[in-house]
Each structure stands twice: as structure tokens, then as C-alpha cells.
Chains A and B, each alone.
Chain A
Amino acid sequence: GQQLNQSPQSMFIQEGEDVSMNCTSSSIFNTWLWYKQEPGEGPVLLIALYKAGELTSNGRLTAQFGITRKDSFLNISASIPSDVGIYFCAGLPMRFGAGTRLTVKP
């Protein structure tokens, strides 16, 4: 089946640093989504990408839909403590990556 490989698995960064994570697949997806999940809650949609090559920003977050439609990345600039959580990529029809656990040290 379609598998999404998300990396890195975890990141420990200093407040103020930039973060980059990515997701790759052997299959094509027509939509890429990025979510953040905090303990005990459902995933919250951060960015949705619908076109190959599309670059979309949401505040300090920027995500791109790879031109081959097999990959996507998410960047977070100037991280803050509340960025802590697990970030998931997802492709439609729905497949999720395993998540990147982000820890931000003040």
C-alpha cells in the first residue's frame, strides 16, 4: 500500500531556531496535508496543499507540495515553546506519516 516516510522522527531544538521536516512516498498523492497533535487531542490542520509545486505559508509555517507529487516539506521559522508537539504529514486518500516529535528548549 501507499506508505509515507516522515523524517526526522524527533527533533530537539533551541527556541528561536528554524525547523524543517519532510515526508516522502513511493506513490503519488493529489493532496498533502500537515497536522500538529498535542497530547490528548486530535490532530489540528496546519496547512493543506492541493497543487504540485505549491508553496503555502501560515504564519511562521511554510509547506511545499513536491513537483513529483511524491513529497512535501514543512518549515517552522523562529520556533517558540508552544510549537512543541507531534507533526504529521498526510496524503489524500488518507495516509499518515509516523510523525515528527518536536521539543523546543527555552
Chain B
Amino acid sequence: DAGVTQSPTHLIKTRGQQVTLRCSPISGHKSVSWYQQVLGQGPQFIFQYYEKEERGRGNFPDRFSARQFPNYSSELNVNALLLGDSALYLCASSPPSPTFNRGQDVGAQYFGPGTRLTVL
């Protein structure tokens, strides 16, 4: 079975430009989340989408936006790129949680290989 796929794998942009990253979830997964990982740190949560609705947002500026499509794929957009946006951007998809009764409707997250963004 295909895992989470992301495109492109690498990207080089200059400051001020805009970028769109793409993600296709595992078949049957309805939730997609986006993370930013800078070197030497754990992934930082950016967005979570479930059934095409935004379910959560991390502490990132409004330059970051995302959306989920009817086929559950997702795009992450970053406007007005800064040098500090250089990072590995990870997408993860999730099946429903086995503990739905706790109000946690999304289960474990399965990550794609990431998109390495370099801003010059």
C-alpha cells in the first residue's frame, strides 16, 4: 500500500516568494496534518485538517495557510518567505482514533518523506 506522498522533495526559493507544498494521504485516511521541522528539533505542528475542515492550528503566522481537497489531499502555502522558513515540511495522515469516546477523533499520524525547503 502506498504511504503518504509529498511533492516536491526539494525546493529552493528566495525571500519574499511564495511556495505551495502538496501531500497525498494514505488511502482511507481523512485527516492530514502539516509540520515544520528545523534541523536538530522535533517537528512543530502547523495545521490539522479533518474532513476538509481545519481542526487545529499551531503557533505560526498568517503567512502560512493550508487547505484539504475532497479527495483528502492537501496543500500548504507559505507567502512572503523568510530565511527562517527554511526547514523540512512534513505531512502526516491519520486514520480515525480507536478511542473515539475520548473526543480524540484522530489516531496515530503517519508521516511522508517531507519537502526540504531552502529559502535564500
Contacts and interface: CB of A to CB of B under 8 A. Distances in A.
Q: Does chain A bind chain B?
A: yes
Interface of A: 1, 6, 30-31, 33, 35, 40-45, 48, 50-51, 88, 90, 92-99
Contacts of B111: 35, 42-45
A4 to B, nearest CB: 8
Contact of A31 (B43, B59, B108): B108
Contacts of B44: 96
Given A94-B48, A96-B44, A33 B112 contact: no
B70 interface: no
Contact of A33 (B33, B35, B108): B108
A97 B74 CA distance: 25
Interface of B: 4, 33, 35, 41-45, 48, 56, 59, 90, 92, 97-99, 102-104, 106-114
A48 B107 contact: yes
A1 B44 CA distance: 12
Contact of A1 (B59, B92, B102, B113): B59
A82 to B, nearest CB: 19
Contacts of B33: 94
A62 to B, nearest CB: 17
A41 B114 contact: yes
